[in-house]
Amino acid sequence: MKHNGASIFNRRQFFRSATGLSLSLPFLLHAEEPKRAFGLVNTEQYFIHFFLLGAADGFLAIDPVVGDKARSGRFDPTHTSSDFSATAVPGKDQLLLGKGFAPAAGAFSKMPTAFVRGIYIEVTAHATAQNYNYSGRSSLSATRTYPSIGQQMANVTGGFPGHICLGPNPPLVDTDKHLQPRALLSANNVDSIANLVDRPGLRFNYKTSQRIKDVSDKAIHEASQLIESLDNLRAKNLSSSYQGGLKAWNNAKIALDRLYQSDLGLSLRLTEDTLDRYGGRSGGEIAQLVAGTFLSIKSGICPILTVSFDGFDTHFNHFANHVPLQQQFATALSALVADLSATPALTGGSLADKTTILITTDFGRTPDLNGNRGTDHWDASWAVVMGAGIRDNTIIGGTDTSGKALGWSQGTLVPFAKDHSNALFPEHLIATILKKQGFPDAASLISEVQLHELLA
Amino acid sequence: MHRLLLNKGREAQWTWLLVVLFLSIAGFWSCREKSKKMRSSAPHAETPVAEPDNIPQNSAVYRLTPEQTYRSMQSALGITLTQNTQSDPILTSFNVALGGVDYFRSRVRDSSAKVQTLLISRALAYRLASTFVSRGFGGERNQKGEDLFSKCNPNVDRPLLPEDNKLPIEQLAQIRTGARHWQDQIIEIYWRLFARPPTTEELAIIRETFQSVYLAENRSLYLAWVMTLYAILSTSEMWYT
């Protein structure tokens, strides 16, 4: 059949093309797998999601109590005491920091940075708010989760590891679909990741920073050959359908061999020297996790990381407990940005030029103190977005003089609508980041509304 | 005469047709019976069949989850590393959530082999191999009171090396006896793990690898056993049934 001379497929041609495509697609995808084992395929870009579990205080971080807020009398006087005065980020007139995040001033100065204030969280229960802020999708059930933003990206990019989680695990699956998180490698710390990706028979001596080989490379090679030979011998006697079933296994073996040969385990070992830059042993778990984040990015093992820090839910003696935690994080963040800036990227520039960092938390904390001099849950949350492509020196959203979330409409602050129609929600932020990182389909599933003012 | 010959020719044609038909039916029947036998003698034949990866439906192949395999391996080798049956040993050790222990749900959740599955399976195989060999060399016994190395003395017995032929006859005879015990041990391990003996070819390449590792590792029988067992435990046959 001809249509005005236009060349179109007839049914037979269409069938041939479709069959060819369906046959070649799996091969193409499998061929991509080993390349993606290193996490770098077409463009060199990295994404880090830091999550401060337990609701970190935004007024001590990026929304300090100054001006009308300070005069409102709504905040505990400690917020406005001279010891808690705001710190300006060098070279960025819009960005002011509270005492908790003051040590990160240098980091915000080095990278394009935007602060997002007054993110409205309707339900201030930790589990539901965490799931919401990790994924951008709200559920009133603590057990009904959606994948975190990092896992949403990894589900698209594939490869292994496509997503590394350090610290407590974020939500990784859509619980309604019972699907296994794809391409995930998670551990409490980076050393556990290193132990996994090292080939069997390797140990690391932290005192000498040396690797110990319990078994020689030759012996490992011999064992690998034996595995391959035994698999091949067995495959000969199997039906073609069985051999087809082993295809995925054999492809994974290729990627695993590449992972072992890449010797990434050694570059993931956290030494005292590195840890010292991030706050040392006194920096606690936070210092270890952020230092591990840098090692993971530098080694090239994986381009997407979600790193979660526990302990910010301080209902007692707020300033004494909460400020040091935020300062530990800010100190480690400062070291991370310094290290990323000093490390060349594979495709030119520094790693800082290729990295986007998102910092979020459950929700906010009350402006005044409770009977235990602690703070309680507050529905105005906050976030920080840093990195290439982010509009620098920018404030999105805001809080009013009593610390409540304001509305955000067409790039300007407006009174908060009772029907929440102009509220700034986590999904707006998550969808914007997903789209910026090159995942428009995943973004459109989260929200059609995006924060264009956030992007350069 | 001509007509008679033609009729005989037709009868012969019918006879041939009947013979061919009979052979076809007999062949089909024989294949079906053979297939039934093969299926019933396969390891875990009683387990339900599901399709993993891109295997066509109703194919008699599917993959156990690493948690399931890990438990089976411990049980087969007679050692216990997983004390608490309530906790997931892989999640506890590596903080990696894999397939779980539920056949049907894991098939849906973890339907294709991933590098992380393989990564964990190798780590588990090495851990199990080194523990088994270490305990076996220490003379430990399994829960039934039997030696872990029940067919050979792992500290002494090994396969014959080409250079052994230069040894005095008595010493050579001892090594030959040890080599037979070593082989019996490999066969026994195969029975325990795969419910079948190794084929001659498999035995030959296992022997070759054992010898190579033994020589590469300064004649360490311990490491030769660890690496050999690690390789056997890492085969696809171990992780697929």
B72 and B161 in a common domain = yes
B30 and B142 in a common domain = no
CA pair distance B179, A135, nearest whole angstrom: 60
Evaluate if residue A29 carries a pLDDT over 60. no
CA pair distance A455, A433, nearest whole angstrom: 9
pTM: 0.77
Q: What is the pLDDT of residue A236?
A: 83
CA B50 distance to own-chain centroid = 20
Give me the helix-helix angle, B115-137 and B221-233, nearest 10°: 140
What ipTM does this complex have? 0.72
Contact of A444 with A421, CB cutoff 8 Å:
no
Q: Shortest CB distance from A249 goes to which of B97, B119, B240?
A: B240
Q: What is the pLDDT of residue A31?
A: 33
B145 and B193 in a common domain = yes
DSSP track, B57-86: TT-S--B--HHHHHHHHHHHHT------TT
Is residue B119 a part of any domain in this protein? yes
pLDDT (average), residues A75-79: 95
Q: What is the pLDDT of residue A96?
A: 97
Provide the number of structural domains found in chain B: 2
CA pair distance A452, A391, nearest whole angstrom: 9
Q: What is the pLDDT of residue A188?
A: 77
B193 and B109 in a common domain = yes
The pLDDT confidence band at residue A246, using thresholds 50, 70 and 90, is confident
CA pair distance A27, B215, nearest whole angstrom: 40
Is residue B168 a part of any domain in this protein? yes
Is residue B167 a part of any domain in this protein? yes
End-to-end, the C-alpha distance of chain B in Å comes to 67
Least confident of A342-346, A383-387, B13-17: B13-17
Contact of B185 with B151, CB cutoff 8 Å:
yes
Q: Which of B53, B115, B190, B226 to mutate to test the interface with A (most CBs of A within 10 A)?
A: B115
DSSP, res A171:
P
Is residue B190 a part of any domain in this protein? yes
B92 and B34 in a common domain = no
For residue A249, what is the nearest residue in chain B, using CA coordinates? B113
| Bridge partners, residue B63, by sequence | B240
The distance of B139 to chain A (nearest Cα, Å) reads 22
How many CB atoms lie under 10 A from the CB of residue A274?
A: 18
Each residue's pLDDT tens digit, B34-77: 444 433 333 232 222 223 344 444 444 455 667 778 878 888 88
B169 and B99 in a common domain = yes
Each residue's pLDDT tens digit, B77-117: 888 876 665 666 666 666 665 555 444 555 555 556 667 77
How many degrees, rounded to 5, is the angle at CA A234 between CA A233 and CA A235?
95
B234 and B177 in a common domain = yes
B130 and B15 in a common domain = no
Is residue B60 a part of any domain in this protein? no
- Tell me which chain A residues have a C-beta less than 8 angstroms from the C-beta of B97: 169, 172, 180-181, 184, 186
B213 and B105 in a common domain = yes
User: Across chain B, what does the average pLDDT equal?
Assistant: 76
The boundaries of the domain holding residue B128 are 66-239
Q: What is the 3-state secondary structure (H, E, C) of A281-299?
A: HHHHHHHHHHHHHHHHHHH
Q: What is the pLDDT of residue A284?
A: 85
Contact of A16 with A273, CB cutoff 8 Å:
no
Each residue's pLDDT tens digit, B160-190: 999 998 999 999 999 999 999 999 999 999 9
Cβ neighbors of B95 (< 8 A, separation 6 or more) are A169, A186, A187, A188, A192
Give me the helix-helix angle, B221-233 and B169-194, nearest 10°: 30
Q: Shortest CB distance from A230 goes to which of B115, B117, B235?
A: B235
Name the more confident of B171 and A246: B171
Share of chain B above pLDDT 90, in %: 39
φ and ψ of A351, to 5 deg: -60, -30
Q: Shortest CB distance from A252 goes to which of B56, B118, B232?
A: B118
B72 and B35 in a common domain = no
| B236/A249 CB distance under 8 A | yes
| A216/B116 CB distance under 8 A | no
- Tell me which chain A residues have a C-beta less than 8 angstroms from the C-beta of B65: none
Q: Which of A222, A231, A258, A307 to mutate to test the interface with B (most CBs of B within 10 A)?
A: A222
How many degrees, rounded to 5, is the angle at CA A270 between CA A269 and CA A275?
170
Cβ neighbors of A193 (< 8 A, separation 6 or more) are A164, A166, A185, A187, A268, A292, A296, A301
* Helix (H) / strand (E) containing A278: none
Is residue B73 a part of any domain in this protein? yes
| A224/B231 CB distance under 8 A | yes
Least confident of A233-247, A365-379, B108-122, B169-183: B108-122
Helices and strands in chain B, H and E counts = 9, 0
B117 and B81 in a common domain = yes
Evaluate if residue A424 carries a pLDDT over 80. yes
B109 and B35 in a common domain = no
Cβ neighbors of A239 (< 8 A, separation 6 or more) are B59
